Structure 1
Amino acid sequence: MASSASKRTRERHLVTYNDREETPLEHAVEEHWDEGTSLLRRLPSEASGVGHAFFPVLEDCIFVGHLMTDLDSIAGAIGAAHLYDGTPARASEVNTETTFALETWGAELPGKVEDLLRETPERNVCLVDFQQQSQLNPAIPMANIVGVIDHHALQSNTIVTEKPIFVDIRPWGCMSSIIAHSFAVQRKFLPKNIAGMLLSAILSDTLNLKSPTTTEWDERIVAMLVQYLQVEDVNELAAKQFRAKSQSLNLMTPYSLVNGDMKQFKFNGGGDKTYLVAYSVIETTDAEASLSRAADILPEMRAVKVAEPSINAVLLAVVDIVNLHSTLLICGRVEASLALAAYGGELTADGSMLQLAGLVSRKKDFVPPLTKAVKEGWEPPQLSVEIGSALDLNGLHRTKSMLDVPHGEVSVEYTDDVPSGLLVRRDD
């Protein structure tokens, strides 16, 4: 049974939204309130100084997330570093949502992992929120990796180690849920600013507990943290957090929108065929604002393949986190073929968009259909050219988005040698 203090907190929490319809986030917190209270009892009220005899390999580790750093990878690194007596680090610059959370909870921005390893090159590293080589900061030697804490599927590009390592991978909606749960299980003191970062990360990764990746454990952990932090209106906290993220998108360049939250996935087809797909996501409360910039975003998507020829396709999903609906931006023939094979439907906006009703999660909604399509025999379409004939480059269709790049990060140069145009990036 909940304590009287917990009951008072619960009553105060309910008062904030008793005059309106309860949101899914609020419903989840209410439904799992007692379970959150039980977890909360396991958190000590002050630091005890007790070490971790069962996890000595993680002590004094650098805890770091993936490239294209997001809130979960930063919050998880901060939380894991405190839990296991290590040092948090960041793999790349943080986004505005992460900055908002750091400022809201009074947490310190972790240092760059390359700087930490430059000072102590032999220091052990524990990866958080990923285990794919394509998402690993180049400064991290594979031999230094001694642990992984994650919530993603193991795929073909997983890190390879010479020795056994610590692994905590759970099918939960957020890695920060794993860290918060570990604080409770290990009865380790959880500072309020770190608890706040973990809460914000869970709300972000699970889209306010509405993502299909959300589990009951994520909901229980949110209920625990809401009580621990005495958050009077968790829905207001989530709204402010996502509003900060969405407003900043209007200030980001097309290059940043494409590359800011991009992950690469390798898919195995028939025989020895493999395909590398870069998948970007823009999560926003104002999807129309992002989609209105499609003419600028599409050239940046094409530029990714120019810069990295090993990438077969580049897809970008604009996720409406309010209506739980996504729009997929299509930048070429290969992307159109792959998207239709994976998701079905019909292309709109002159073939540059595909509506994905009800799909919002890259991990659970976007990637699995691609895996299935490739396994079932999808192959990139080929240009139809008769043997012995010259390829008429002038006949290739040029979309408006390839020509009209008002913000100028990517331009198209036409020459006698390449009359169809070549995407190039101008130096600022």
Structure 2
Amino acid sequence: MHNTSTLTKARLFICLFSTFILATGLLFSNPAAYAENTVAREPILVTGHSNPDTDSTASAIALSHLLNQLGKSAVPMTQGPLNPETKYVLERFSVPAPELVGNVANRNIAIVDFTDTPQAPAGFDKANLVFIADHHKLGNVTSSSPLEAWILPYGSTATVLYQVYTYYGIPVPKDIAGIMLGAILSDTVIFRSATATDKDLESANALAKIAGVDDIAALGMKLFAIKSDISQKGSMELLQRDYKEFNMNGQKIGIAQLEMTDSTPALKRKAGFLSAMKDMKEKTHSQSVLFMLTDIMQGNTTLLVVSDNPQLIENAFSKKIVNDEMKLPGVMSRKKQLIPDLEKAFRK
């Protein structure tokens, strides 16, 4: 008669060996299925666009928390260093900054605040896209399988995500409510932008109540005071702070924006900005690099232009470029008042 302990050990060995054979069999006979199973178990990396701003950063954090509450492991990430305004918002509400994202090939990924692939992290074309939250026009992203997407015409992705939280009945934590409020105030220019909607104001008021913020306007002006201080920043650093690339009819176009309570200090640095724009154009092989110097108190923009085809830029806005700049009264929004006219001109 065999010893019971010996039989138990033998059965355990057979079980483990069989599992090993099945796993290696799947790996070698169908590596794609093995990889797919591995990816399915990986956490979701949630990231905003390149050159992150407050909305993309706060939205990555907010969506990560929401996905975790829904039983999906998610981690907020960022594609680059945070600007002074975003750092202030995170510190003000005691929220840790996300880690830098690396190559996302063969990883699960959720994206916020963009759908144009030039703004995506390295390896994005080989990633498994599972979720989108955005408030811009639909770009050129694609997915290999069905996914959840919330793309709504509001002034901020944080506003979109507040609707998602409401839809799922998930309460927004106090700290995350604070950074979402900061994102809405920043992206809507304290509700002065052409992109601002009633839903942004409604969401901001609800989030302020959760976060314990009594004076929304004061918080908004604090953010723009930080954003307006450019005295210690280099021209290239300011150009890259909110720089986005777009593909317009096969042409690469870079558009940066600097929003200030007073644009006078920026206009005095025009020569330095133009030099940085020329360097950026050469480095990125772009057809045009444009820089919006937006005065939020006056409600207008001075557009600096470095382009292979300045006539096309003039045609887009029916205005002349004089000394490498174009005056755009009433223009404050890149996504709503600049990009649509440019895309139309590039299609002609």
What amino acid sits opposite 1:128 in the alignment? Answer: V
User: How far has the Cα of 1:58 moved from its partner?
Assistant: 11
Matches within 5 A, 1:144-293: 144-155=128-139, 158-247=140-229, 249-268=230-249, 274-293=250-269
Whole-Å separation in 2 of the counterparts to 1:317 and 1:150: 22
Find the counterpart in structure 2 of residue 131 from structure 1. Answer: 115
139-148 or 77-86, which moves further after superposition?
Answer: 139-148
| C-alpha contact 1:63 1:126 (8 A) present in aligned 2 | yes
| C-alpha contact 1:177 1:202 (8 A) present in aligned 2 | yes
C-alpha deviations, 1:322-369, integer Å up to 9, x for none?
1111000123562x3232111123334xx2211100001000001111
C-alpha deviations, 1:355-410, integer Å up to 9, x for none?
100001000001111122223x3xxxxxxxxxxxxxxxxxxxxxxxxxxxxxxxxx
Whole-Å separation in 1 of the counterparts to 2:156 and 2:111: 15
Residues 1:89 and 2:77 aligned together:
yes
Whole-Å separation in 2 of the counterparts to 1:340 and 1:122: 43
Whole-Å separation in 2 of the counterparts to 1:109 and 1:221: 23
Whole-Å separation in 2 of the counterparts to 1:123 and 1:143: 5
User: How far has the Cα of 1:280 moved from its partner?
Assistant: 0.9
Whole-Å separation in 1 of the counterparts to 2:41 and 2:201: 27
SS in structure 2 of the partner of residue 331 of structure 1: strand
Out of 372, 378, 381, the residue aligned to residue 344 of structure 2 is: 372
| C-alpha contact 2:173 2:210 (8 A) present in aligned 1 | no
| C-alpha contact 1:78 1:194 (8 A) present in aligned 2 | yes
- The number of aligned residues is 304
SS in structure 2 of the partner of residue 307 of structure 1: helix
User: How far has the Cα of 1:64 moved from its partner?
Assistant: 0.6
TM-score by length of structure 1 reads 0.68
Whole-Å separation in 2 of the counterparts to 1:112 and 1:275: 29
Which gives a bigger RCO, structure 1 or 2 (Cα 8 Å, sep 6+)? 1
| C-alpha contact 2:129 2:144 (8 A) present in aligned 1 | no
What amino acid sits opposite 1:137 in the alignment? Answer: P
Out of 89, 92, 98, the residue aligned to residue 104 of structure 1 is: 92
C-alpha deviations, 1:98-121, integer Å up to 9, x for none?
001011111110111118x6xxx7
| C-alpha contact 1:146 1:165 (8 A) present in aligned 2 | yes
C-alpha deviations, 1:60-88, integer Å up to 9, x for none?
41111011111111000010000111211
User: How far has the Cα of 1:228 moved from its partner?
Assistant: 2.2
What amino acid sits opposite 2:90 in the alignment? Answer: L
Find the counterpart in structure 2 of residue 355 from structure 1. Answer: 327
Gaps in structure 1 of 5+ consecutive residues: 1-56, 269-273, 378-428
Find the counterpart in structure 2 of residue 345 from structure 1. Answer: 319
Out of 279, 284, 291, the residue aligned to residue 316 of structure 1 is: 291
Whole-Å separation in 2 of the counterparts to 1:149 and 1:60: 18
SS in structure 2 of the partner of residue 301 of structure 1: helix
SS in structure 1 of the partner of residue 102 of structure 2: helix
Residues 1:64 and 2:47 aligned together:
yes
What amino acid sits opposite 2:162 in the alignment? Answer: A
Whole-Å separation in 1 of the counterparts to 2:41 and 2:79: 18
User: Taking structure 1 as reference, are residues 223 and 96 closer, same or farther at Cα in structure 2, changes over 3 Å only?
Assistant: same
SS in structure 1 of the partner of residue 169 of structure 2: coil
What amino acid sits opposite 1:79 in the alignment? Answer: A
TM-score by length of structure 2 reads 0.83
Q: Provide the alpha-carbon RMSD of the alignment.
A: 1.9
Whole-Å separation in 2 of the counterparts to 1:142 and 1:179: 26
Whole-Å separation in 1 of the counterparts to 2:65 and 2:284: 37
C-alpha deviations, 1:220-239, integer Å up to 9, x for none?
10121122223221111111
Whole-Å separation in 2 of the counterparts to 1:58 and 1:205: 35
User: How far has the Cα of 1:139 moved from its partner?
Assistant: 4.6
More helix by share: 2
Whole-Å separation in 1 of the counterparts to 2:91 and 2:165: 23
Find the counterpart in structure 1 of residue 4 from structure 2. Answer: none
SS in structure 2 of the partner of residue 75 of structure 1: helix
